[in-house]
Amino acid sequence: MHSEFEVVIGLEVHVELKTKTKIFCSCSTEFGAQPNTQVCPVCSGFPGMLPVLNRKVVEYAIRAGLALNCEIAEFCKFDRKNYFYPDLPKAYQISQYDLPICKNGYVEIEVDGEKKRIGIIRAHMEEDAGKLVHQGTITSSPFSLVDLNRSGVPLLEIVSAPDIRSAREARAYMEKLRSILLFAGVSDCKMQEGSLRCDANVSVRRKGETRLGVRTEIKNLNSFKALERAIEYEAKRQIEAIEDGEEIVQETRTWDEEKQVTRSMRSKEEAHDYRYFPDPDLPPLRISREWVEEIKKNMPELPEQAKQRLMERYGLSSYDAEIITLTPEYLAFFDQCVALYPDAKTVANWMMSELNKYLNQNNMEITEVKFRPEHLASLLKLIDNGTISGKMAKTVFEEMFNTGKEPEVIIKEKGMVQISDVQTLKGIVEEVIKNNPKVVEDYRSGKEKAFGFLVGQVMKATRGQANPALVNELLREYLSKE
């Protein structure tokens, strides 16, 4: 529709590092505590307090940097970013300005089978601000309430290059970033709890143009869906404005989830004067190569490696392997199941169809599933040894998902055992043939469809418990006889 325009997107992602304590003090970072109960003089900005850096934050930052193919700086420091805002008690945020801990990395994404590398300009450590609680909506609230529990929680800000060209690529990048950080074990990446947040810089330009257009920054993107929709909306808005001869204003916009639009928050003209300077309270860091090597050595398996392993060892398709390696927990479930039931493709199919169906329906994560990987393995074995049919297994699976009961127990309770007794089935097959002379005639005159109907009749007569392979075999035998 707007094919003469190109959308240029860069993402700034803030990820909360999953340390037990804050970046510069020993207050807990646990989510969900009563407001202002995890604060101390350091993180609520009392005058004269001294920050002391949490070693684990640096370790996680290095680990994340390595997982994102970044260079790890030998020397880096913290700087003060000065601005006034009620969620920022010191009136400056401790961040990293010109010497970030990680730079020049990349993430590989795949959209519609096409691989693409998205550059990462830098990733730096910083402290989170507090949380503002608004009464009513963000713009109509009469006053704001401040909770400083989040103030001082360690963040890694990951800045992508403007390499992203569509809302779908942006989403793919975010999803890949999330899975890498999850596998690296540096963050929980829970968007709904704010431990993974994203701002999008969006601009458009006519194709062939090499200069970047004026960009807007979109905030309040709290889900993958919001990210995708907001970018689609914003790109369209900018293209229409340009086509109408308007100029795009550089500004910060917020995504209105309810109305599904982006709205202007504030103009950036005066906002960008943060007067960064090195924080005199924090000595700089010298990051030894030994430390980096040690972290590299202990790096857990990353999604890309896991994906390769699934494709090479089990012959899974790239698409299937990608889905299974979205989170480490999902992959662990798969691995544990395959250890007991080695037909990996079947395991993958069951997880991606049945398991994902119920996970999506119930809006659940793999970690919340009631049954264990060994239960799925048992279920698949019960199909193989003919105890139940594939169709019955789906019913058992649903019950397993809802109750967490073992498949054998469910089968017993429901009296679901498959009928594989030839004599019993022969009787039923004869009956069905006798009762459907017209259909039998159709089949014999070459209508293959009629066969399916007859199978269905046998299944119906046995309430789905007949062994389908055996029914097929018997029916063909009888039908070819006369």
Partner 1 sequence: MALTIKEVEHVAMLARLSLTEEEKKVFAEQLGAILGYVEKLNELSTEGVEPLAHILPVFNVFREDEVKPSPPREEIMANGPLTEDGYYKVPKIV
Phi, psi of 54 (to 5 degrees): -80, 120
Instruction: Please identify, using beta-carbon distances, which residue of 120 and 148 lies nearer to partner 1.
Output: 148
Taking alpha carbons only, the member of 298, 300, 301, 320 closest to residue 310 is 320
- Tell me how far apart the alpha carbons of residues 67 and 69 are, in angstroms, rounded to a whole number: 6
Work out how close the CB of 193 gets to partner 1 at its nearest, in angstroms, rounded to a whole number: 19
Instruction: Please identify, using beta-carbon distances, which residue of 72 and 337 lies nearer to partner 1.
Output: 72
Q: Which two tokens stand for residue 247?
A: 């100029």
Instruction: Please identify, using beta-carbon distances, which residue of 136 and 446 lies nearer to partner 1.
Output: 136
- The DSSP code for 279 is -
Instruction: Please identify, using beta-carbon distances, which residue of 17 and 324 lies nearer to partner 1.
Output: 17
Instruction: Please identify, using beta-carbon distances, which residue of 56 and 296 lies nearer to partner 1.
Output: 56
Work out how close the CB of 339 gets to partner 1 at its nearest, in angstroms, rounded to a whole number: 33
Q: Provide the 10 A C-beta neighbour count for residue 13.
A: 24
| Helix/strand/coil for 325 | coil
Q: Where are the alpha helices (DSSP H) in 263-415?
A: 289-297, 303-314, 318-324, 328-340, 344-350, 356-361, 373-384, 390-403, 407-414
| Helix/strand/coil for 104 | strand
Instruction: Please identify, using beta-carbon distances, which residue of 78 and 173 lies nearer to partner 1.
Output: 78
Can you give the binding site for partner 1, defined by CB under 8 A? 19-21, 26-28, 34-41, 44, 52-58, 75, 77, 82, 84-86, 99, 132-133, 138-139, 141-148, 265-266, 270, 273, 275, 278, 280, 282-286
Instruction: Please identify, using beta-carbon distances, which residue of 88 and 164 lies nearer to partner 1.
Output: 88
Bridge-based pairing of strands 251-256 and 216-221 is: parallel
Work out how close the CB of 175 gets to partner 1 at its nearest, in angstroms, rounded to a whole number: 28
Work out how close the CB of 87 gets to partner 1 at its nearest, in angstroms, rounded to a whole number: 9
Sign of CA dihedral 314, 316, 322, 327: negative
Instruction: Please identify, using beta-carbon distances, which residue of 283 and 404 lies nearer to partner 1.
Output: 283
Instruction: Please identify, using beta-carbon distances, which residue of 139 and 267 lies nearer to partner 1.
Output: 139
Instruction: Please identify, using beta-carbon distances, which residue of 14 and 56 lies nearer to partner 1.
Output: 56
Contacts of 70 (CB under 8 A, 6+ apart): 102, 103, 104, 105, 120, 123
Sign of CA dihedral 151, 72, 97, 10: negative
Work out how close the CB of 24 gets to partner 1 at its nearest, in angstroms, rounded to a whole number: 9
- Tell me how far apart the alpha carbons of residues 414 and 235 are, in angstroms, rounded to a whole number: 55
Q: Provide the 10 A C-beta neighbour count for residue 136.
A: 8
Work out how close the CB of 54 gets to partner 1 at its nearest, in angstroms, rounded to a whole number: 5
Work out how close the CB of 143 gets to partner 1 at its nearest, in angstroms, rounded to a whole number: 5
Q: Which two tokens stand for residue 398?
A: 């649903």
Work out how close the CB of 259 gets to partner 1 at its nearest, in angstroms, rounded to a whole number: 17
Work out how close the CB of 134 gets to partner 1 at its nearest, in angstroms, rounded to a whole number: 8
Q: CA distances (Å), 27 to each of 42, 44, 121, 141, in order? A: 9, 11, 31, 30
Work out how close the CB of 103 gets to partner 1 at its nearest, in angstroms, rounded to a whole number: 17
Sign of CA dihedral 65, 69, 74, 79: negative
